[in-house]
Amino acid sequence: MPLTGIQIYKLLPKTNCKDCGLPTCLAFAMKLAAKQMELSTCPHVSPDAKSQLADAAEPPVRLVTLKADGHEVKSGNETVLFRHEKTFYNKPGLFIRVQDDEASDDIEAKVSAADIYTVRYVGMDLTLDGFAVQSASGDPAKFADAVSAVRATSHRPLILIARDPAIMAAGLRAIDGESPLIYCADAGNWNAMADLAKQHSAALAVCADKLDELADLTSKLKTKGINDLVLDPATRRLGESLIRQTQIRRLALKKDFRPLGYPIIAFPGDASDLTQESALAAQAIAKYAGFIVLNRFAPEMVYPLLVLRENIFTDPQKPIQVQPGLYEINDPKPGDPVLVTTNFSITYFSVANEVEGAGLPAWLLIVDAEGMSVLTAWAAGKFDAERIAKAVKETGVANKVARKRIVLPGHVAVLSGELEEELPDWDIRVGPREAVDLPAFMKQVL
Amino acid sequence: MSVEIPKDTWSGSVRTVTLGATAAAGGTRSHTVTVGGHKALPFMHFEQPMAHRPAIALEIRDRRPDDWSPLLLEVWGDAVDDPASWAIAAEKAGADLLVLSLSLTGLNGHPTTPEAAVAAAKAVLKTSGLPLLVFAPGQADLDNQLLVPVAEATKGERLVLGICEDKNYRTIVATAMANGHLISTRTPMDVNLAKQLNILVRDMGIPPDRVLMDPTTGALGYGIEYGYSVMERLRLAALQGDGNTQSPMIVTPGTEAWKAKEAKVGQDVPAAWGDWRERAITWETLTAVALIESGADIVVLRHPESLRRVRVAIDDLMTVPETV
Ligand code: B12
Ligand code: SF4
C-alpha cells in the first residue's frame, strides 16, 4: 500500500528549507505521494527515512518468481481482496508432489504424465506448473536421487520439501545452479535454511501455525537478507485455511503489514479425505494461495482446477473475446453451410470445437457482439438481425458460398424472421440450442 | 511480534429465513431449515459466529427428464419416473431440502397441466418430510398457471415458489402471501437488477423473511466468475447495510454444471478431460464450493456424490478452528 502524503511528511526533516524547490516539506510530500517528484530531490532525507520510503514503494504482497529452463511461475503482487475490485494478477502455480520413498519408476511415470499434460480451454493450452519433491525417507541420498529423477523427467520449476537442512542440502546439490523454492524454515531450523536459501538463491517457504510466529520468522529471515519468502500458515482444512489466508491477505493489503506480505503456499494434497483435495485446491485458487501442491495427478481433477484458475483470474473488466470475422473450419467448400455466432470466446470455442471435432466443414461467421454470449448479447441488443447482416456483408461470405444457407443458434430462433428481411436471398435455418447437438444437426438436417 | 488481526465490522446483516412449516406451525414438514442471519462474510468465525450453515437442496423433477446426463439418470435409476420415489431417494442421499422442478411438457409432449403439477407436489410432500421448493418451467404464463394451484393446494407449508422474475413476480408473490409460502427471485447476474426486483416484490408487501434471492450463476468454465463476483458484491452490500440485498442467496450450480459438456457427455471428448464420472462430479462440486464461499446460503445440486462432497466441505467450513 503506498504511503499517503501525510505519512511521507512525517519522515521528512520538516525544516521547510525549500532546497527541493517547493515552499514546504508538506508540499514536497504531496508531490512524492502523487509520484510527481523523486525522493532524491530533497538532499536532507535521513538514511532511515530513505529505507522506510523505499519499503513503502514495494508491493504489499511480494512478487516471488520460480524459474527453470524456460518455465516460470510468478506469484504475489496482488492488490485486492475481491476480484471485482480490480482483478487478480498472478495465477497460483499448481505443483504435483512426489515422495522420495516412491519407486523411481513410479516417480518418473507420474512426473512425465503430468509434465506433458496440456488441455485446451477457450483456445488456450493449459498446463501444470511444476513438481514438489518431498523427503519421506529421511535419507539425504534418496532425496537427492528423487530430485534428480524428477529433474531428468521435467524441466519445470521445483519445490523441495524437507525440514532437515542436511537433507535439503543434498537435494539442492542434485540441481546445482537452480533456484527452486525450498520448504521450509521453521522455529528450529530457520538459520540453516536461510544459509541454504542464500547459497542457492532459492526462495524460502516459512511454516508456523500462529501468525505472530510466522511474522517473527519472516522478520528474522529478512534481516539475514532473504527476501523471497513464501508463507505456510500450517492450516490443512477448508475452514481454518480460508480464515488464515484471508487474515494474511488483509494484513498485507489493509494494514501494509510487511512481515506477512508474501505469497502463500497451500497443500490440498494433505487432505485427509481424498475427495476433498479438489475442493481445497479450488478454495486455494480463489482465496489467495500463490503456490498449490497437489498429491494426485488426475486429469479429471486437474482440468477443472485449471479452468477455475483461468476463470477467477480473468480481468472482470474484459471478457475474453475472439476477433469477429469469417473462420474456416475443416477446409469448407462453397457448398458448405454458414454458422453464425458471437465473439465471446467461450461461445466461439464451444461451437468451433464441436464442428472441428466432428470433422465437418463449415464457415463460421463471428459477429461482433462485444464479447458476449449468444443470449446475453441478444438480451443486450448486441446480437440482432442487423448486426448479423452487417457481418455477412463485411466478410463477403456470399462470394465464398454457392448455397446461401445460414444457421442461427437455437436460442435466438426469434431472430429468423427479421434476418429473412435483412438477407432476402439467404436460406435462414434455426440450429439446435446447444453446440453439442450441432454435428448431428449438420449431418441430418443440412 | 504480536500481530493484530484486522476484523471487519459491519452495520448490516443478512436476514434469517425459515423454509418449511411443521405441524405446530400449520404445515406437515418433519422439520424446518433456517438460512441466513449472517453478520460477517462467509465462515469468518473469528469475527462473528455463522448464524446458519449453508443448506444443500437436491433437484428432482415431476417426470423423467429428457435432457439430463446419462450419469444422473443412472445414479437415480427408476426413481426418476416418479417424483415421490425420487424424493425418498434424495432424502436418503442426505439432502436438506428438495427442489421440485416442473417440466415444460409432460411425457406426452403436451404442456404440463396444473393438475399434474399439484399431484407431483403433493406426492412429494406426502413421502418426504423435507422442506420443499417448487420451481416452474420458466415461461411466465405457464409458470403462473402452475404455481398458483400448487400454492393453494399446499397452503401453510412455507414452500418456496420460484422463479420470480421481473415478468411474472406479481402473481407469484400474491399467491405466496395468500397461502403462507416463500418466494425466490431471480435476476441475471447483476447487482442493480437484483436490487430492483427486490424493491418490486417488497412493494407488494411480502414480509422480508419470506424472500430468497437467486442472483443466477454460471458453471465452472461457463461464466462462474460472473456469478461468483456478483454474489461477493451482493453480500458485501448486504453487510454494508443495503436492505435490498439482504435476502439469503440461493443458486443452482447443479443445473449449470450438468449443462456443461464436461459434465454431461462422456464420449468423443478430449482424453485430457480424464475420467467422465469423476470429472462431472468435480465440475458440480467445485462450482458449488466456490459459490458457497462467495455467499450462497442454498445450493441446488443434482448428483448424490456431489452432495456428499459438498456436505463434507460445509462441515469443515463450519468447524470453528481453535487455532485461528
Ligand atoms: C455469464 C452471463 C452474463 C455475463 C456476460 C458474459 C458474457 N461475456 O457474455 C454478464 C454478467 C455480464 C451478463 C449480463 C447480462 N445478461 Co446474462 N447471462 C450470463 C449467463 C449466466 C451465462 C451465459 C454464458 O456465458 N453462457 C455460455 C455460452 C457458451 O453460451 P452461448 O453463448 O449461448 O452458446 C451456447 C449455445 O448458444 C450454442 N451456440 C452458440 N452459438 C451457436 C451457433 C449455432 C449455429 C448453434 C446451432 C448453436 C450455438 O452453443 C453454446 C454451447 O452450448 C446466462 C444464463 C445461463 N446460465 O445461461 C445469462 C443470460 C444470458 N443473461 C441474461 C440477461 C438478460 C443479461 C442482461 C441483459 C441483464 C441486464 N439487463 O443487465 C445483461 C446484458 C449485458 C449488458 N447489458 O452489458 C439472460 C437472457 C434472457 C433471455 N432469454 O433473453 C440470461 C439467459 C439469464 C436469465 N435467465 O435471465 N450475463
Ligand atoms: S528540501 Fe527536503 S527538507 Fe527542504 S523543504 Fe524540501 S522536503 Fe523539506
Find out whether the beta carbon of A18 lies less than 6 Å from any atom of ligand 2. yes
Range(s) of the domain holding residue B152: 16-318
Tell me if B98 is assigned to some domain: yes
Burial class (CB in 10 A: 0-12, 13-18, 19+), B277: middle
B2 found inside a domain: no
Q: What is the mean pLDDT of chain A?
A: 94
Does B139 reside within a domain?
Answer: yes
For residues A198-225, average pLDDT: 96
Interface touch B188/A257, C-beta < 8 Å? no
Residue A372 Cα: closest atom of ligand 1: 9
Helix (H) or strand (E) holding A130: strand A130-134
Cα separations in angstroms, A72 against A158, A239, A263: 10, 31, 15
Domain boundaries, chain A: 5-57, 64-312, 325-444
Smallest CA-to-CA distance from B299 within B133, B180, B68 is with B133
**In a 3-state reduction of DSSP, which class is residue A47?**
helix
SS3 B225: helix
For residue B42, being part of any structural domain is answered with: yes
Does the pLDDT of residue A446 top 90, yes or no? no
Question: Can you give the pLDDT at residue A256?
Answer: 87
Instruction: Report pLDDT for A440.
Output: 93
CATH code for the structural domain at A5-57? 1.10.15.40
Distance CA A435, CA A355 (A): 8
Q: How far is B167 from chain A (nearest CA, A)?
A: 14
pLDDT beyond 80 at A3: no
Q: What is the mean pLDDT of residues A77-81?
A: 94
**pTM for this structure?**
0.89
Q: Output the pLDDT for position A39.
A: 84
| B318 HSE (CA, 13 A, CB side) | 15
Confidence of residue A283 (pLDDT cuts 50, 70, 90): very high
Is B321 in Cβ contact with A237 (below 8 Å)?
yes
Least confident span in A32-46, A354-368, A432-446, B68-82: A32-46
In the prediction, which pLDDT does B36 show? 98
Q: Which residue, judged by its Cα, is nearest atom 27 of ligand 1? A: B222
Question: Nearest 5°: phi and psi at A394?
Answer: -65, -35
How buried is A94 (Cβ within 10 angstroms: 0-12 exposed, 13-18 middle, 19+ buried)? buried
| Tens digits of residue pLDDT in A154-200 | 999 999 999 999 999 999 999 999 989 999 999 999 999 999 999 99
Per-residue confidence (pLDDT) for residue B306, from 0 to 100: 98
Secondary structure (3-state) at B163: strand
> Is the Cβ atom of B226 under 6 angstroms away from ligand 1?
yes
Is A325-444 in CATH node 3.40.50.10420? no
Total number of domains constituting chain B = 1
B44: chain A residues, CB-CB within 8 Å: 243, 246
Residue whose C-alpha is closest to residue A219's, from A197, A247, A187: A187
Q: How far is the CA of B65 from the centre of ligand 2 (A)?
A: 77
The H or E element containing residue A284 is: helix A277-286
Mean pLDDT of A365-386: 95
B313 with A211: Cβ contact below 8 A = no
> Which runs of consecutive H residues, i.e. helices, occur in A23-126?
25-33, 47-56, 104-116
Q: How many CA atoms lie within 13 A of A216 on its CB side?
A: 13
Residues of chain A contacting residue B236, judged by C-beta atoms under 8 Å apart: 82
Check CB contact of A235 with chain B, cutoff 8 Å.
yes
Instruction: Work out the end-to-end distance of chain A between its first and last CA atoms, rounded to an integer number of angstroms.
Output: 60
Between B207 and A434, whose confidence is greater? Answer: B207
Instruction: Tell me the longest C-alpha to C-alpha distance in chain B.
Output: 72
- In DSSP terms, A229 is beta-bridged to A204
Q: Is A408 helix (H, G, I), strand (E, B) or coil?
A: strand
**Pocket flag, ligand 2, residue A44 (CB < 6 Å):** yes
Tell me if the domain spanning A64-312 has CATH number 3.20.20.20. Answer: yes
Which atom of ligand 1 lies nearest, measured to the CA of B223? 1
Q: What is the pLDDT of residue B226?
A: 93
Question: Contact A154/A115 with Cβ under 8 angstroms?
Answer: yes
Q: Where do the DSSP E strands lie in chain B?
A: 16-19, 33-36, 55-61, 97-101, 132-135, 160-164, 182-186, 211-214, 249-251, 296-301
pLDDT at B76: 98
Q: Is the pLDDT of residue A1 over 60?
A: no
| Residues of chain B contacting A304 with CB distance shorter than 8 Å | 220-221, 262, 279, 282-283, 286
- Checking if the pLDDT of A295 tops 90, the result is yes
As a whole number of angstroms, the distance between CA B44 and CA B47 comes to: 6
Q: Look at residue B171 and tell me if it is in a domain.
A: yes
CATH code: domain of residue B73: 3.20.20.20
A78-to-A205, A219, A262, B228 alpha-carbon distances in Å: 18, 21, 10, 19
Show the cell assigned to B145: 398457471
- The pLDDT, as a whole number, for residue B323 is 66
Are residues A279 and B1, on separate chains, in Cβ contact within 8 Å?
A: no
CA of residue A243 to ligand 1 center, whole Å: 34
Can you give the pLDDT of all 324 residues of chain B as single tens digits?
789 999 999 999 999 999 999 999 999 999 999 999 999 999 999 999 999 999 999 999 999 999 999 999 999 999 999 999 999 999 999 999 999 999 999 999 999 999 999 999 999 999 999 999 999 999 999 999 999 999 999 999 999 999 999 989 999 999 999 999 999 999 989 999 999 999 999 999 999 999 999 999 999 999 899 999 999 999 999 999 999 999 999 999 999 999 999 999 999 899 999 999 999 999 999 999 999 999 999 999 999 999 999 999 999 999 987 766
Q: Cell 519472516 maps to which residue? A: A218
Residue A317 contacts residue A156 (beta carbons within 8 Å): no
